[in-house]
Amino acid sequence: MTTIDPARIPENLRPVIEAMCATGAQLSRVIARGPLAGKLGAGVGENSDGDQQKALDVMADEMFEAALRGTGVKYYASEEQEDVLTLDEGGTFALATDPLDGSSNIDVNVTIGTIFSIFPVADSATASFLRPARDQICAGYIAYGPQTLLAVTFGAGTVLFVLDPETGRFELAEEKMDLPVAAKEFSINASNRRHWGQAVLAYVEENERGKDGPKGKDMNFRWVGSLVAETHRILTRGGTFLYPSDSRKGYENGRLRMVYEVAPMAYLVEQAGGKATDGVTPIMDLTAEQLHERRPFVFGSAEEVDRITALHC
């Protein structure tokens, strides 16, 4: 049985998306069992970038890697692995993934997710991923929360599906997501305030002044600590998300990975009518130079992203 309506997926990508959905549905069942499935949030080492890996990070990576073999994916790049893997020698796609985003929230029952991005294969493994973000032909996330959701774009809008737990199929929930142009919410890790640059600090202070400040309206603050959860909220009801560079060692270029997180989320946001930048330049105009490269990330409602860009100039 298929786990998603094949008529809504480009024919050449159907095996890949079917594998992602089937694995996402399987992973959602593991996550739903929580501690009954074992110590999913236990630390089991570090990935190539020095971040602690949780047991569920490794499990999810292994599940997606196995499921994608034989689907036409030649190259598989994972945030959890140092190098690109070759899955199908004759494949025509290169898939990058953060198999389990927001893993610090595993043990506290907060929405976590899988992020993925698909490019056509280039001349080499690295060239398939180190290219303009606009070369993506598909991007999506699977959110594991009260509902298991798939948001995906193939370049003609962002579509939302929800997993029906009774049938195990992802069913269409929204034909075209429409991110509101204006916003009354913003998201940033306020604990890093003392490290922010002037432009980011000015934007946050402007929001804090609410209706008495230049915006003339009160702004609500939100922070989940899960990129998938933040993105889904913003796609649904508007807002802005900021993970900027700051003055701390190792944060000069932000912390989110261009290939695995920033580029796919930017594609989804742009296709839903929002904007995504590194604070100045649209993400979709940028090219990763390293597989695990980090990039400052600002996205959301167009008016707010434009304002942040203006403050950086």
pLDDT, residue 34, reads 79
**300 carries a ligand binding annotation:** no
pLDDT 10s digits, 200-210: 999 999 999 99
pLDDT, residue 173, reads 97
**261 carries a ligand binding annotation:** yes
**101 carries a ligand binding annotation:** yes
Question: SS3 sequence, the chain?
Answer: CCCECHHHCCHHHHHHHHHHHHHHHHHHHHHHHHHHHCCCCCEEEECCCCCEEEHHHHHHHHHHHHHHCCCCEEEEEECCCCCCEECCCCCCEEEEEEEEECHHHHHHCCCEEEEEEEEECCCCHHHHHCCEHHHCCEEEEEEECCCEEEEEECCCCEEEEEEECCCCEEEEEECCCCCCCCCCEEECCHHHHHHCCHHHHHHHHHHHCHHHCCCCCCCEEECCCCHHHHHHHHHHHCCEEEECCCCCCCCECECCEHHHHHHHHHHHHHHCCCEEECCCCEHHHCECCCCCCECCEEEECHHHHHHHHHHHC
pLDDT 10s digits, 224-258: 989 999 999 999 999 999 999 999 999 999 999 99
Domains annotated on the chain, with CATH: 6-174 (3.30.540.10), 185-312 (3.40.190.80)
**102 carries a ligand binding annotation:** yes
pLDDT, residue 38, reads 72
Confidence (pTM): 0.95
pLDDT, residue 103, reads 79
In the chain, which stretches have pLDDT less than 70?
Answer: 1, 40-52
**100 carries a ligand binding annotation:** yes
